[in-house]
């Protein structure tokens, strides 16, 4: 018994002597603060605030994204939309994913300011099976003249910061975005947009990674149909129709050519097929190269 007691005492004091060598993991409690760009972005002569309108084609009640090789399995992505009365402005968007379709949904609620532009979007992701809730707040920030300058997303664990630069005619020229958790360095990715002569459609976009400096160039080609997804923007990480800068262009992208400044990168081309109803409403579109990125997106109208 005495030998056991002596051993315990030796181990105790040995452990105390080694405390300085033990690596400990501290919880990062540093504040999450939206970073400034530290330079001024171009402002327009005309304020359009297109992406702050919260507008959507109000014929669209839901959107379903489906992988070809899973069809007719449960949808990969599914959105439902609600509108302000007698308006094309979104009041609520509900988002589902197939893995959590019986347990989880994400509800986005839109609020508008006195100028009828989006003031904030509150996202509440609720999972009944695992009993958790995640809330994100997207705040739309305007200058004294009412121009949308930035969108800040706040959460307990990470933030997203988006800044906008403009051409003189009010069209968006630059988007700088930083998505960051606690303890991570600021890293702004940059997208620059080039339009056609009428400023109706984006014909080229340069996307530069803030950490690597690598730039990918996208070249876009369009049909002559109305793009139902134009002006719908919350952040870079929220609902898009997955085809280029669709929230900025009047028509639908039918082909994308992708080029990378990496010498080992080979040029990529994606083409898309759009299907319309007799009333000229978009019913679906799909990637024509099923081996590259097979998906189909259905838009269901009233």
C-alpha span between 253 and 43 (Å, rounded) = 27
Q: CB–CB of 250/274 below 8 Å?
A: no
Tens-place pLDDT, residues 136-151: 999 999 999 999 999 9
CB-based contacts of 108-114 (< 8 A; 24+ apart in sequence): 108/234, 108/238, 110/54, 112/54, 113/142
C-alpha span between 296 and 77 (Å, rounded) = 10
Q: CB–CB of 58/83 below 8 Å?
A: yes
According to DSSP, the β-strands at 172-181 and 189-195 are antiparallel
Q: CB–CB of 61/78 below 8 Å?
A: no
Could you tell me the residue ranges of all domains in the chain? 53-301
Q: Which CATH code is given to the segment(s) 53-301? A: 2.40.160
Chain center to CA of 72:
27
According to DSSP, the β-strands at 77-83 and 104-112 are unpaired
84 vs 27, which has greater pLDDT? Answer: 84
**Both tokens of residue 51?**
């992406």
Percent of the chain with pLDDT over 90: 52
User: Looking at the chain, how many residues does it have?
Assistant: 302
Tens-place pLDDT, residues 261-283: 877 788 888 898 888 888 788 88
C-alpha span between 122 and 105 (Å, rounded) = 14
C-alpha span between 89 and 57 (Å, rounded) = 9
C-alpha span between 233 and 142 (Å, rounded) = 15
Tens-place pLDDT, residues 246-255: 899 999 999 9
**Both tokens of residue 141?**
């920030």
Q: CB–CB of 62/85 below 8 Å?
A: no
The confidence band for 98, taking pLDDT boundaries of 50, 70 and 90, is low
Tens-place pLDDT, residues 194-221: 999 999 999 999 999 988 889 999 999 9
C-alpha span between 179 and 160 (Å, rounded) = 4
Distances (CA, A) of 21 to 15, 89, 96, 240, 267: 10, 60, 48, 50, 52
C-alpha span between 128 and 133 (Å, rounded) = 9
How much is the pTM?
0.84
**Range with the poorest average pLDDT among 81-95, 106-120, 163-177, 236-250:** 236-250
């Amino acid at each position: 018994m005495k030998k056991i007691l002596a051993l315990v005492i030796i181990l105790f004091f040995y452990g105390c002597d080694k405390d300085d060598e033990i690596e400990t993991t501290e919880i990062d409690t540093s504040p999450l603060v939206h970073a400034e760009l530290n330079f001024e972005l171009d402002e327009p002569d005309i304020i359009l605030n297109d992406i702050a309108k919260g507008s959507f084609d109000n014929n669209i009640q839901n959107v379903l994204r489906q992988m070809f090789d899973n069809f007719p399995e449960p949808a990969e992505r599914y959105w439902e939309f609600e509108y302000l009365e007698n308006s094309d402005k979104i009041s609520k968007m509900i988002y589902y994913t197939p893995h959590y379709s019986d347990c989880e949904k994400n509800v986005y609620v839109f609020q508008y300011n006195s100028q009828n532009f989006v003031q904030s979007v509150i996202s509440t992701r609720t999972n009944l099976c695992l009993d958790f809730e995640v809330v994100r707040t997207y705040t739309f920030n305007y200058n004294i003249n009412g121009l949308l300058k930035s969108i800040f997303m706040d959460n307990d664990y990470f933030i997203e910061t988006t800044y906008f630069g403009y051409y003189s005619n009010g069209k968006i020229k630059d988007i700088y975005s930083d998505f960051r958790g606690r303890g991570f360095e600021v890293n702004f990715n940059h997208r620059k947009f080039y339009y056609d002569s009428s400023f109706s459609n984006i014909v080229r976009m340069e996307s530069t990674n803030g950490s690597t400096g690598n730039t990918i160039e996208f070249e876009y080609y369009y049909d002559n149909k109305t793009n139902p997804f134009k002006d719908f923007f919350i952040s870079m990480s929220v609902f898009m129709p997955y085809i280029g800068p669709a929230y900025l262009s009047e028509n639908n992208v039918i082909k994308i050519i992708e080029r990378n400044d990496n010498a080992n990168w080979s040029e990529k081309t994606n083409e898309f097929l759009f299907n319309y109803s007799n009333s000229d409403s978009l019913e679906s579109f799909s990637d024509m190269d099923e081996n590259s990125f097979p998906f189909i997106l259905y838009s269901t109208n009233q």
